[in-house]
Amino acid sequence: MDSETSTAVEQQPAPAPHRVAGRIGFLLLALLAAASGAMGGLLLVYSTDLPQIGELESYRPSSITELYDDQGREIGSFALQRRVLVNYDDIPPLLREAVISVEDKDFERHWGVDVWRVLGAAYRDFRSGGRVQGASTLTMQLSRNLFLSADKNFGRKIQEIMLAMQIERRFTKQQIFTMYANQVFLGHGVYGFEAGAEFYFSKEMKDLNLEEAALLAGLPKGPSVYSPIRSAERAMHRRNTVINAMLEDGKITAEAAAHAKAAPLRLHLQTAPNSIAPYFVEEVRRYLESKYGAEQVHERGLRVYTSLDLDLQKVANRAVLDGLTAYEHRHGWKGNLPNVQSRGLTLATYADPDWDQPIAAGTYVHGVVSAVRPGAAIVRLGRFSGVITAADLAWTKVKDPAALVKAGDLVYVLLLEDPPRRPDSAGQLVHVALEQESGVQGALMAIDNSTGDVKALVGGRDFDETKFDRATQALRQVGSSFKPYVYTAAVDQGAKPDDTILDAPVSFPAPGGLWSPHNYDEKFEGEITLRHALAESRNIPAVKLAAKVGMQSVISYVRKFGITSRMEPYLPVALGAAEVTLQEQVSAYSTFPDDGVRVVPRLIRKVVDYEGHVLEEDYPEVKDVIGVDTARTMTQLLEGVVQHGTAAATGARLKHPLGGKTGTTNEFTDAWFVGFSPSITCGVWVGFDESKSLGTNEAGALAALPIWEDFMRAAIQQHPDEEFPGEHKTQKPVIKAQTQPPRGSAGSVPR
């Protein structure tokens, strides 16, 4: 290039400033348009599958179906998510301020998204190479909890923001906070702050103090990480973080903050009420699900008003377990305890379902032996431990616990005192007695005679071990408790209580030859009254009566009493060689004190949906079975059993109008007592699930009657002045002298 050309180039004028600015502006506009287009495309992509926010207008989250007893006390619940729905005014200001301070300080001011927090979190995640997370407002958390997955990625975050903006446009802040308060997960299957307050503190949300409100407010960040049950240290640190945030926002004073942060964790965990009557609750669940479906039962917050009496149920639970314990003591220590090591566990990792239930003095509970020392064994029972001394195992006839148990053994114990309540008293030892489970089972059912309401139901020793309900599902031979049906048929055909019958050897033709029944004591009493024959459970008179009225007739009466089990018209059936459920026996026996009318057992009185609409209301279903005169005669005959027959000792102790009948099967495989007062009928069965003998002399009066007596002692207290129909206190039925003294004293085992 020559010098002239170079000079010419150098002398060209520079571009005007406004032209440079225009180019830059154009470039920025182009970039903005591109960004807007990209953002629009992203919004289009991520909005394709967004739910309709309008659905929230009618949205109601899953809530608990609750069961109540006959006094309105909760006895059980069903829920996929344990939640109690509340309104905004139900949420105490202290809890609202705690949540807002720690989760979303600008909740009242933003429009669903805190832009600077989101951008800051995104930048930090970009620099660290992590996923987009954090900085979510309460509204964003609500949108995620309601509609989105828990995955932490860019796409979900965009959807979360878009949903939050829509929610803010459609709902007020109060509505948003209420939905959040009902929806938030707080760990251990608990959703919403009201359910959280009940679960962690056994109190309503409105009664929370500062440290309790702060603990709940801190859980949404990490329900499992900050669980006060799993990690008290992390939970306390998180609680104090919430308190500091409230202090920083001026919501509380420095003095209140210092006091709350110094307070220890004071949990009062709410245990599931299903543990009180688990077999009853399970029967109700099966019925409800069959009628309304599992979704309605577990998610739609039904209110189910049942027939159960919570107080009587507690008595029934204890009576059955005490009766089975007495049986175990009679038969001595068996040993052969399972050990945690055989289950692949350790002392530290073993946990028993019993530890999640209410535990108090008088409770039977499983535990694991943690240490054995001279004269004592230490048993871990969850958050506390028990001690077994030599005096607590006297029934085993062994003086040193070390001779019976070793570390790791799984044992069954009875608490002799209340456990410590404070979490910091874990080192305190509770006095417990060593017990045993040999496999023997028991069942009890009690119903109101006039309504058929099931007042108590025990289906076995331990619901956690087996859900099989021996009161409603088990078909067992009933032994002599079948005899009242034979006597009913005879009385209905004209027999009188003071008619006589010959108790003497007799034989009847049978397919395999002659059949010769025997009495329990292998003796014969000669001419006796029907009253005495039933009271003393004489077998030969019962068979003779059955032969006289005909077994076809007897079975037809059995069907009238509501018993549907299959049975053949053979004479041995008259002595109880027929399989019947305890529920059928109890329902049938209630006919006698109810003047011949049987009321079908009912577990449910009323079912109401969440809005208060009555879905069903069950009224007593009445069946006419026998005439009034026959029923009253049979009541008198069965009173004789308790007054001077095989249950005379019980009658003497209870001193109340009572009737009933013992039952024992061959080889002592089943023990029964079914009896009644004027107001309630109760039946008890004891036996093994398999066909196995309870042991010599384990008759109904020894194995089952004491359980019945313990229960009825509480039941009759509700009706101290009752009488059987047709009877008056001033004129009791006259009991004729018998041919020999009553049985049941020492040296003889009644039937």
Cα angle for residues 291, 294, 300 (degrees, 5° grid): 95
Contacts of 290 (CB under 8 A, 6+ apart): none
Classify the C-alpha dihedral 651-655-660-663 as positive or negative. negative
> With left for phi above 0 and alpha for psi between -120 and 50, is residue 562 left, alpha or beta?
left
Q: Is 138 left (phi over 0), alpha (psi -120 to 50) or beta?
A: alpha
Pairing state between β 303-306 and 65-68: parallel
Which residue in 66, 97, 103, 536 is the catalytic one?
103
CATH number of residue 105's parent domain: 1.10.3810.10
Helix then strand then coil, % of the chain, to nearest 5: 45, 15, 40
Q: Is residue 233 part of a domain?
A: yes
Q: What's the pLDDT score for residue 145?
A: 75
Residue 103 falls in the annotated catalytic set: yes
Whether residue 379 contacts residue 386, with contact meaning beta carbons closer than 8 Å, is answered with: yes
What CA–CA distance (Å, rounded) separates 41 from 24?
25
SS3 510: strand
H or E stretch at 676: strand 670-676
Q: Are 648 and 629 in contact (CB under 8 A)?
A: no
What is the total count of domains within the chain? 1
Can you tell me which residue has the tokens 């309790």?
A: 212
How far apart CA 112 and CA 106 sit, in angstroms, is 10
The first and second tokens of residue 386, run together, are: 């028990």
CA 161 – CA 647 distance, rounded (Å):
75
Strands 410-415 and 526-529: unpaired
Which residue segment(s) compose the domain that 200 sits in? 89-262
From the list 480, 481, 537, 587, the catalytic residue is 480
Q: Round to whole Å and give the CA distance between 659 and 670.
A: 20
Select from 455, 486, 724 the least CA-distant residue to 594. Answer: 724
The pLDDT score that the predictor gives to residue 749 is 35
Query: DSSP string of 274-315?
Result: GGTSHHHHHHHHHHHHHHH-HHHHHHB--EEEE---HHHHHH
SS3 183: helix
Q: What pLDDT, on a 0 to 100 scale, did the predictor assign at position 513?
A: 86
Helix (H, G, I), strand (E, B) or coil at 393: helix
Nearest alpha carbon to residue 548 among 504, 491, 502, 490: 490
Supply the pTM of this predicted model.
Answer: 0.80
DSSP H or E stretch at residue 243? helix 232-248
Give CA–CA dist 198/186, Å, rounded. 12
> How far are the Cα atoms of 343, 533, 723 from residue 635, in angstroms, in the given order?
53, 15, 11
Running along the chain, 751 residues long, what does each successive block of 10 average in pLDDT?
Answer: 47 57 66 54 47 62 88 89 89 96 89 68 56 68 70 60 83 92 90 93 94 96 90 93 96 96 87 81 96 90 96 97 97 92 82 82 93 92 90 91 93 92 62 95 98 98 93 97 98 96 94 90 95 96 97 97 93 95 98 97 95 93 96 97 96 97 96 98 97 95 98 96 76 35 32 52
Q: What is the pLDDT of residue 163?
A: 83
Is 139 domain-assigned?
yes
Any idea what the Cα angle at residue 623 is, between residues 620 and 626, rounded to 5°? 140
How far, in Å, CA of 306 to CA of 315, rounded? 18
Residue 492 belongs to some domain of the structure: no
Using CB atoms within 10 A of its CB, is residue 708 exposed (0-12), middle (13-18) or buried (19+)?
Answer: buried
In a domain, 345, yes or no: no
List Cβ neighbours of 337 (8 Å cut-off, separation of 6 or more).
Answer: 405, 409, 410, 411
Which ranges constitute the DSSP H helices of 475-518? 483-492
Residue type, 405: V
Could you give the dihedral angle defined by the CA atoms of residues 382, 386, 392 and 398, in that order, rounded to the nearest 10 degrees?
80
Distant-in-sequence, close-in-space partners of 631: CB < 8 Å, separation ≥ 6? 591, 592, 593, 594, 595, 596, 625
CA distances from 152 to 185, 222, 419 (A): 17, 14, 45
Examine residue 728 and state whether it is found in any structural domain, yes or no.
no
- Determine, yes or no, domain membership for 109: yes
Closest alpha carbon to 56 in 142, 140, 114 = 142
Contact 298, 307 (CB under 8 A): no
Q: HSE (CB half, 13 Å, CA atoms) of 540?
A: 23
- Spatial neighbors of 650 by CB under 8 A, at least 6 apart, are 642, 658, 705, 706, 708, 709
For residue 276, give the nearest of 456, 411, 452 by alpha carbon.
456
Exposed, middle or buried: residue 55 (CB in 10 Å: 0-12, 13-18, 19+)?
Answer: exposed
DSSP code of residue 185: B
Q: Flag whether 110 is in a domain.
A: yes
375 torsion bin: left (phi>0), alpha (psi -120 to 50), beta (else) = left
- Does residue 296 sit within a domain? no
